[in-house]
């Protein structure tokens, strides 16, 4: 039997989340009243509220997600005199753990006229591709865009300090302070340039025990970004960057080099490297275009302004596209190569080739055809045959589609077949890793004038390896209909998967999805999913899972 347990702490957090929602709605109603009293000439209010309460339980296996989590996302924007915009954001969650970066966040980014934006609290912004872009910062900043002039400055905490735990197997994280700046001229549609700077440094005093943490780091990145619409059909965009990175700021300092401490402190772990990229787009008409991309990132180039960025690579790609037969046929091609080990400081060099071809042909109003082919090859020049890497991955997909009227309604029928193979040429691993996969499926949808609709799916998948030949047959049906002047939408779905591998398994699933629209008062939805997995294997267990989610959304 599946049980849902709510702890006292979780209930308290839900109460606080509910109170926050009530307060937010009160403020909105007060603002609406103010707006109705001729204040609409001066102040306008808009925004959204997203509330959700999720529950999950399982039997036969350990829980794969929290038992219950409530979340709330509140956004409000006040527009004053049609010139000043004050956006507020509030993120709340009943789940908050020390080893996670915080979810409960509040930030405001007021926009004044069309040339000034301020940031306070939690906010996101992008400087350039090589400096700063995908981190959410706690701090402040501003963005100036008068005319073609561009100026940005940001400062704040990019990571919160968290103590590590060997019991729960997660590492410690230092608090990280960062700042970024950008000055430039011009817009993306024409000629432009910008000088960009980013700096981040870990706070060594922010955690009690650093034995479970990586060494504290410091990073400084400078970049020049520029582009130009040379003629109407030709566009060029590029960026060149230099990075200084210390992998351990506790290492011995280099006394011969002196920089201001807030700028960068060279030490024995510091290294300097560069990166560059260029994109050239040729589009003389809407019927065809050609794009060329090239990128080089040195093995010592690092930026802490992005959570993940691969270095030590040089790559080139060419991507033509065209439209034929009065735009009924679209063709897209892409081919590229990537190399690493740019300075021969690794054991061997690896190269990768990627290529793809896509075609979409709308032969007639009732019939269309899609074709896709991908090729991915990786090779290495290692002298030792047992360590040499050489494999090829191919995939092919053909998908005809039909639309017609029958059975009292509109019908769509989609067929698909795909083939994938992976070829490993290594003399040691080839027998175990090479495989082939065949997949075929059919999806039929019937839509009736009463808004009743049926979707039937049948899919078959078979893989062939040297060790095992697993196959899966999936059958599912989904029925949906709208009620109450189309305000209420209910859909029921279910199906079964027959899985044959080392054992004979079956997976039975059911889902319910409902949504009711209150018009200007928002939408209320409920999702319920049940999974039952049965197996006769001695190594795995049968299990059951139940997941539900109640959601409310409103925009104003």
The 10s digit of each residue's pLDDT in 226-241 is: 999 888 899 999 999 9
pLDDT at 417: 97
pLDDT at 170: 72
Map residue 15 onto helix, strand or coil: helix
Mean pLDDT of 333-344: 92
Q: How far apart are CA 208 and CA 172, in angstroms?
A: 10
Cα distances (Å, whole numbers) of residue 524 to 18, 73, 527: 15, 15, 10
For 445-461, write each residue's pLDDT tens digit.
999 999 999 999 999 99
- Determine whether 246 is exposed, middle or buried from the number of CB atoms within 10 Å of its CB (0-12, 13-18, 19+): buried
**Could you tell me the pTM of the whole model?**
0.76
Q: How far is CA 195 from the centre of its chain?
A: 28
Q: How far apart are CA 514 and CA 519, in angstroms?
A: 16
For 486-536, write each residue's pLDDT tens digit.
999 999 999 999 999 888 899 999 999 999 999 989 999 999 999 999 988
Give the torsion through C-alpha atoms of 226, 302, 311, 210, to 10 deg: -160
On average, the pLDDT of the chain sits at 85
Mean pLDDT of 329-336: 96
For 366-400, write each residue's pLDDT tens digit.
999 999 999 988 877 666 555 555 678 899 999 99
Tokens of 455: 């979707």
For 262-309, write each residue's pLDDT tens digit.
789 999 999 999 999 999 999 999 899 999 999 999 999 999 999 888
Handedness of CA 34, 36, 38, 43 (dihedral sign): positive
- Comparing 371 with 432, the larger pLDDT belongs to 371
Q: How far is CA 54 from the centre of its chain?
A: 22
Residue-range domain boundaries for the chain: 1-92, 96-276+300-305
Of the ranges 68-72, 357-361, 467-471, the best mean pLDDT one: 357-361
Tokens of 416: 């698909």
Residue 1: is its pLDDT beyond 50? Answer: no
Q: How far apart are CA 150 and CA 147, in angstroms?
A: 8
For 80-131, write each residue's pLDDT tens digit.
766 667 777 777 887 654 434 444 567 778 888 788 888 888 888 999 999 9
């Amino acid at each position: 039997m599946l049980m849902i347990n709510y702890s006292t702490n979780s209930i308290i957090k839900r109460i606080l989340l509910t109170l926050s929602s009530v307060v937010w709605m009160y403020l909105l109603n007060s603002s609406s009243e103010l707006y109705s009293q001729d204040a609409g000439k001066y102040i306008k209010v808009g925004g959204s509220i997203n509330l959700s309460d999720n529950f999950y339980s399982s039997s036969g296996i350990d829980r794969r997600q929290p038992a219950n989590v409530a979340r709330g996302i509140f956004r409000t924007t006040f527009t004053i005199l049609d010139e000043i915009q004050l956006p507020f954001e509030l993120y709340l969650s009943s789940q908050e753990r020390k080893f996670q970066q915080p979810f409960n966040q509040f930030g405001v980014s007021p926009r004044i006229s069309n040339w000034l934006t301020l940031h306070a609290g939690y906010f996101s912004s992008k400087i350039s591709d090589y400096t700063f872009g995908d981190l959410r910062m706690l701090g402040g900043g501003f963005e100036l865009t008068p005319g073609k002039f561009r100026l940005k400055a940001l400062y704040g905490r990019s990571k919160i300090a968290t103590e590590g735990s060997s019991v729960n197997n997660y590492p410690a994280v230092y608090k990280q302070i960062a700042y970024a700046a950008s000055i430039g001229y011009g817009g993306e549609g024409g000629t432009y340039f910008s000088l960009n700077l980013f700096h981040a440094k870990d706070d060594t005093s922010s955690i009690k025990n650093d034995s479970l943490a990586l060494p504290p780091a410091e990073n400084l990145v400078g970049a020049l970004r520029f582009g130009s619409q040379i003629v109407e059909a030709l566009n060029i965009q590029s960026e060149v960057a230099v990075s200084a990175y210390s992998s351990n700021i506790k290492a011995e300092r280099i006394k011969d080099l002196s920089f201001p401490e807030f700028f960068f402190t060279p030490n024995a772990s510091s290294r300097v490297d560069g990166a560059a990229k260029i994109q050239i787009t040729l589009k003389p008409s809407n019927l065809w275009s050609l794009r060329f991309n090239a990128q080089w990132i040195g093995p010592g180039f690092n930026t802490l302004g992005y959570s993940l960025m691969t270095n030590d690579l040089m790559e080139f790609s060419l991507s033509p596209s065209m439209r034929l037969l009065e735009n009924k046929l679209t063709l897209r091609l892409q081919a590229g190569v990537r190399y690493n080990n740019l300075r021969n400081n690794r054991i061997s060099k690896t190269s990768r080739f990627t290529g793809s071809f896509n075609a979409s042909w709308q032969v007639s109003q009732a019939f269309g055809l899609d074709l896709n082919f991908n090729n991915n090859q990786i090779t290495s020049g290692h002298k030792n045959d047992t360590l040499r890497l050489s494999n090829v991955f191919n995939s092919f997909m053909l998908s005809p589609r039909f639309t017609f009227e029958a059975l009292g309604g509109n019908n769509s029928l989609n067929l698909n077949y795909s083939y994938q193979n992976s070829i490993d040429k290594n003399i040691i691993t080839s027998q175990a890793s090479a495989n082939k996969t065949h997949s075929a499926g059919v999806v039929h949808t019937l839509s009736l004038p009463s808004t009743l609709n049926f979707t039937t799916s049948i899919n078959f998948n078979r893989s062939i390896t040297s060790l095992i030949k697993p196959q899966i047959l999936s059958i599912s049906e989904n029925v949906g209909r709208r009620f109450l002047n189309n305000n209420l939408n209910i859909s029921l779905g279910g199906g079964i998967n027959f899985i044959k591998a080392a054992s004979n398994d079956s997976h039975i699933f059911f889902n319910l999805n409902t949504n009711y629209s209150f018009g200007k008062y928002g939408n209320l939805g409920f999702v319920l999913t049940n999974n039952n997995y049965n197996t006769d294997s001695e190594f795995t267990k049968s299990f059951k899972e139940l997941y539900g989610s109640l959601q409310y959304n409103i925009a104003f």
